[in-house]
Amino acid sequence: MNRIKSIFVVLLSLVLGTGPAFSQAKASLNQDSTSRIKDLADFEGIRDNMLVGYGIVVGLNATGDKLTTSPFTTQTLQGMLERLGVNVKNGGLDTKNVAAVMVTANLPPFARPGTRIDVVVSALGDSKSLLGGTLIVTPLLAADGEVYAVAQGPMAVSGFSASGAAASATKGVPTSARIPNGAIVERGVDFQLRDLAVLNLALRDPDLTTATRVAETINGAIGRPVATPLDTTAIQIAVPSDYPGGTIGLMTEIERLPVQPDQVARIMINQESGTIVISQEVRVSPVAIAQGSITVKVTEAQQVSQPGAFATAGTTQVVDRTQVEVNETGTGKVAMFNRGASLQDIVDGLNALGISPRDLISIIQALKASGALRAELIMM
């Protein structure tokens, strides 16, 4: 059986749409869409720093690296034992209870020496599981090559692996673990926030209109023109010398200010899962949409043709017989949209047609190709 689905888009202009999955979301379209500035932007300089280190895990239950196939594990183990006064130059290392690992962490902004941070441990060699292991002292370095933290401690592994002679089972990732508060900060990042005379605010979603609104909101709250939008992302703020609380007080006040961010008309489509996300600002041109389904069924059969019982001539032949059936089903409805139809109008109209998200993807692609879709289409 061959099944062919067809979607017809009629009139001069085409439209965008949403499927039934959006019917519950449309009630919130008219709610207040303001957000705090702290939820829209970040102050430059207040950021994490990535840390990474190479270490070794001990105490595994014969699930570690094979020393014959992991030379880096052997070298690390030998070096560690020699520093502890154990001579292993004559060989004899044949343990399966150690594993080489990479250790990663994020150094929070303004972290002070003595502060503890979480670390993530990931197997580097052919270890099967890190369950039950303990990380040995591991220096964590930043991009400048300096040590900012030292990690050590027993690991928490969420996954496990079990196997027998004829079967095996694995849940989660047993070669990755986490150590809560497993690293101690040894060095902080030298950054004096309170001494800044100029602040830079960076939007997480670049937009010129949003940047202008943020600057206008800050100027209105402070009562003087201290904020200036530089581009679609950055807003520069001059700290008044007489502001109560100085730089920190100004930043605290700015973070709490409400702003209504502007949105780009955008449609996100994930073809694998059939997920469609449509922004509220999407608008449509006058359009009518009809949706239908055509099923074509082709059946092949063979029949035998042979002469009569007393015929003096003729031979037996195999004759092919083909039967074609065409069925067309659909809602029998047409959705029409006026100029500038909103997301709620589109939801109501397409829900009336009973269009599924899968069929809607084909409609949206046709609309974009026609040039009538007033939105950015992003395929994931």
Residue 227's CATH number = 3.90.1150
Query: In 210-341, at which residue ranges do the beta strands (DSSP E only) sit?
Result: 227-229, 234-238, 258-259, 266-270, 275-278, 287-305, 317-337
Give 25's contacts (C-beta < 8 A, 6+ positions apart).
Answer: none
* In a shared domain, residues 223 and 320: no
* Residue 280 and residue 341 in contact, taking contact as beta carbons nearer than 8 Å: no
* In a shared domain, residues 339 and 367: yes
The C-alpha atoms of residue 92 and residue 127 are separated, in whole angstroms, by 20
Amino acid letter for position 124: L
The sign of the CA dihedral 107, 108, 110, 116 is negative
The C-alpha atoms of residue 126 and residue 120 are separated, in whole angstroms, by 18
Domain boundary among 136, 163, 185: 185
Q: How confident is the model at residue 265 (pLDDT cuts 50, 70, 90)?
A: confident
3 state SS of 194 = helix
Over residues 344-348, mean pLDDT: 63
The sign of the CA dihedral 125, 131, 132, 138 is positive
Structure tokens at 229: 């939008």
**pLDDT in the model for residue 163:** 64
* Alpha helices (H) along 134-206: none
* In a shared domain, residues 61 and 22: no
The CB-side HSE value for 356 (13 A sphere, CA atoms) comes to: 8
pLDDT at 197 over 80: yes
**pLDDT in the model for residue 13:** 35
Count of Cβ atoms closer than 10 Å to residue 371 Cβ: 10
The sign of the CA dihedral 49, 55, 61, 66 is positive
Higher pLDDT, 282 or 154: 154
* In a shared domain, residues 146 and 223: no
pLDDT at 290 over 70: no
Amino acid letter for position 116: R
* In a shared domain, residues 174 and 65: yes
* In a shared domain, residues 248 and 224: yes
pLDDT, tens only, 292-301: 654 555 566 7
- As for how many domains the chain has, the answer is 3
* In a shared domain, residues 206 and 102: no
Domain of 372 in residue numbering reads as: 2-31+265-379
Give 209's contacts (C-beta < 8 A, 6+ positions apart).
Answer: 262
Lowest mean pLDDT of 77-91, 131-145, 190-204, 346-360, name the range. 346-360
- For residue 172, the 8-state DSSP code is S
The C-alpha atoms of residue 52 and residue 141 are separated, in whole angstroms, by 5
Higher pLDDT, 15 or 74: 74
Structure tokens at 234: 């950055």
pLDDT, tens only, 304-328: 777 766 666 667 777 766 565 655 5
The C-alpha atoms of residue 184 and residue 105 are separated, in whole angstroms, by 11
